[in-house]
Amino acid sequence: SLVRMIVNIIEPTHGTVLDPACGSGGMFVSSADFIEQYGANANTAMTFFGQEKVDYNAKLCIMNMAVHGLNAKIVSGDEANSFYHDAHNLEGSCDYVMANPPFNLSDWGADRLQDDVRWQYGLPPAGNANYAWIQHMIYHLAPNGKIGLVLANGALSTQTGGEGEIRRKIIEADLIEGIIA
């Protein structure tokens, strides 16, 4: 139900959809269901791109896409670690970015990404990847694109490691339409 709610809020109707932590592909299937309600063909209206570090989950995603007749470009395994390898080269071009990334991921490799261009709102703390995920998604978004994501509730109020400052800058950049708790 969370995935359907996200899809209904951002209303993906065309273009490029990225899920940088795609799991079993639920965001893609729900997006396709949404567009097909209006008589459009998801495979001609949208292009689906996903990355999933866990091979088993990626295989589920590929199977899910096949069962639903969807064309998707899914990359899995170590080369699918979204923070280290942009498998699809979609910087600034995604119409929709949707994800339910791992909450509060502590070992995400911040030490290797200190000077990364994605951290335009601030360096995410080494002990929690929530704001790394947010900025990673923003980086891939087209100028008029939309993001829908699920994060831990603590991401709304944490001040640890500069997260409050990052959050303030993202809000001041007018990138937040709404938050549902």
H or E segment to which residue 47 belongs:
strand 46-52
Q: Sign of the CA dihedral 25, 104, 91, 146?
A: positive
Tens digit of each residue's pLDDT (9 = 90 or more) over 164-178: 999 999 999 999 999
* Residue 163 and residue 123 in contact, taking contact as beta carbons nearer than 8 Å: no
Q: How many angstroms separate the first and last alpha carbons of the chain?
A: 14
Tens digit of each residue's pLDDT (9 = 90 or more) over 91-141: 999 999 999 999 998 989 899 999 999 999 999 999 999 999 999 999 999
Cα angle for residues 25, 27, 31 (degrees, 5° grid): 120
- In the Cβ-directed half-sphere of 30, how many Cα atoms lie within 13 Å? 21
Cα–Cα distance measured from residue 40 to residue 37, given in angstroms and rounded to the nearest whole number: 7
| Higher-confidence position of 159 and 80 | 159
Rounded to two decimals, the pTM is 0.94
The closest of 105, 116, 113, 97 to 155, measured between CA atoms, is: 105
Tens digit of each residue's pLDDT (9 = 90 or more) over 43-64: 999 999 999 999 999 999 999 9
Q: For residue 86, name the pLDDT band (cuts at 50, 70, 90).
A: confident
Cα–Cα distance measured from residue 178 to residue 26, given in angstroms and rounded to the nearest whole number: 22
Decide: helix, strand or coil at residue 17: strand
The closest of 149, 103, 177 to 2, measured between CA atoms, is: 149
Q: Is the pLDDT of residue 66 over 80?
A: yes
* Greatest CA separation for the chain: 47
